[in-house]
């Protein structure tokens, strides 16, 4: 089974799409696909579909959506070869119930050791983080760039998201931002300041209160000989933080601004690692 959720939802079994067009069955498949090979409780699926006030017929309706998904899976399996044998030595074909399994507490989508873009992203990002910790900045930049290339848009971009998926979308987006932050840090360590300017210009406009990205943009500008523009980035961020959140920039970002004001080549930039903020010295 091939599962893609880092953008539009696309699930294929045996090379055939099993992604339904109707909104609520898509929600069911989206949650099952994200947690492939793990049981998704019925309660979680019902909350996803109807929130805190499900209808009395919720369980029955959910079962109907599961049957619709199994029909799509069965169609995809028609092309499958006999891949198992029963005890008598006769070939046994995998069924839709073997792929979308009913468990005592919920349902499980069996991927059959197939591909999942989320799992690939997490694996590549993890390798990239370890490379950063080991000081292998070329390796970190390469692995994190490969991880980020798996994203084609917002996770579940074409799925009508309920409470469960909304939470997962936020979690995945935070993971993407952490990987992006670390990839940019690796590129800064490698002296790719000018190459980063166009990308960071877009990012700071998209994430107007993200201090780490602004700090990286300031550093890239400063190292590219554009000290005045680097200081302007700080002032714009400060104005946005004060106006929208009632906050001043962090101590780390203020130190970076003072360092740039003093034209100090030994600058520091705040950057989170695996979701935690720290100060990174860049020479």
What averages of pLDDT result for each successive group of 10 residues across the chain (283 residues)?
96 94 96 96 97 94 97 88 50 84 95 92 98 97 98 96 96 97 96 96 96 96 95 97 95 94 65 37 35
Q: Residue 275, class by beta-carbon neighbours within 10 Å (0-12 exposed, 13-18 middle, 19+ buried)?
A: exposed
Could you state, in order of their start, the residue ranges of all structural domains in the chain? 2-117, 192-283
pLDDT of residue 221: 96
276-281 and 39-41 strand pairing: unpaired
Cβ contacts of 231 within 8 Å, gap of 6 or more: 218, 257, 260, 261
Q: Global pTM? A: 0.85
What is the arrangement of strands in the sheet containing 10-13, beginning at the earlier edge strand?
Answer: 16-17, 10-13, 2-4, 115-116
The CATH code of the domain at 192-283 is: 1.25.40.10
pLDDT of residue 87: 52
Cβ contacts of 171 within 8 Å, gap of 6 or more: none
pLDDT of residue 265: 58
C-alpha–C-alpha distance, residues 219 and 188, integer Å: 8
pLDDT of residue 282: 37
Angle at 259 between CA 256 and CA 264, to 5 degrees: 135
- 64 sits in the region (left: phi over 0; alpha: psi -120 to 50; else beta) called alpha
The CATH code of the domain at 2-117 is: 1.10.10.10
């Amino acid at each position: 089974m091939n599962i893609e959720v880092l953008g539009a939802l696309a699930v294929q079994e045996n090379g055939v799409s099993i992604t339904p067009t109707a909104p609520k069955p898509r929600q069911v498949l989206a949650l099952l696909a994200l947690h492939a090979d793990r049981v998704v409780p019925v309660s979680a699926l019902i909350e996803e579909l109807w929130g805190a006030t499900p209808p009395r017929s919720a369980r029955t309706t959910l079962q109907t959506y599961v049957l619709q998904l199994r029909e799509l899976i069965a169609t995809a399996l028609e092309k499958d070869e006999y891949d198992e044998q029963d005890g008598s030595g006769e070939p046994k074909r995998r069924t839709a119930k073997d792929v979308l399994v009913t468990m005592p507490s919920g349902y499980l989508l069996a991927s059959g050791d197939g591909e999942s873009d989320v799992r690939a992203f997490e694996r590549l990002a993890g390798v990239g983080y370890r490379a950063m910790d080991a000081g292998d900045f070329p390796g970190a930049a390469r692995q994190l760039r490969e991880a980020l290339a798996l994203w084609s848009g917002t996770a579940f971009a074409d799925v009508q998201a309920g409470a469960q998926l909304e939470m997962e979308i936020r979690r995945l987006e935070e993971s993407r931002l952490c990987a992006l932050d670390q990839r940019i840090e690796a590129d800064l360590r490698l002296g790719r300041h000018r190459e980063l300017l166009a990308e960071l210009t877009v990012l700071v406009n998209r994430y107007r209160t993200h201090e780490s990205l602004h700090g990286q943009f300031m550093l890239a500008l400063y190292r590219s000989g554009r000290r005045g523009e680097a200081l302007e980035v700080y002032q714009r961020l400060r104005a946005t933080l004060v106006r929208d959140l009632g906050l001043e920039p962090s101590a780390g970002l203020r130190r970076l601004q003072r360092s740039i004001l003093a034209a100090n080549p030994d600058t520091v930039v705040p950057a989170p690692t695996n979701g935690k903020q720290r100060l990174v010295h860049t020479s």
